[in-house]
Amino acid sequence: MKIGKNKPIEKTRINLLPAKNKELIAKNRKKLLFISIIAGYIIFIFLIDTSLVLINKAKIKYIAALSQELSVMKTKNIMNTAFETAIDKRKLLLEAVGKKVSLIENLKKLKVSWYGKIDKMIAASPQGVWMSSVSMQGGKVSIEGNSVSLNNISIYVDNMKATALFEKMTLAGINIKKVNGNTFYGFKIIGLLNGIPDINIKNTAESAKKK
What domains are there in the chain, each with its CATH number?
Answer: 124-210 (3.30.1360)
- Tell me the pTM: 0.42
What does the pLDDT look like over 180-202, one tens digit per residue? Answer: 888 889 999 998 888 655 444 44
Lowest mean pLDDT segment, chosen from 41-55, 154-168, 193-207: 193-207
- Residue 33, pLDDT above cutoff 70: yes
Other CB atoms within 10 Å distance of the CB of residue 114 = 20
Q: 189 CB contacts (<8 Å, ≥6 apart)?
A: 142, 143, 144, 145, 156, 157, 160, 169, 170, 171, 172
Lowest mean pLDDT segment, chosen from 12-16, 66-70, 177-181: 12-16
Distance between CA 195 and CA 207 in Å, rounded? 23
- 10 Å CB burial of residue 52 (0-12, 13-18, 19+) is exposed
- Cα–Cα distance list, 108 to 23, 122, 135 (Å): 125, 21, 18
**pLDDT at residue 138 in the model:** 72
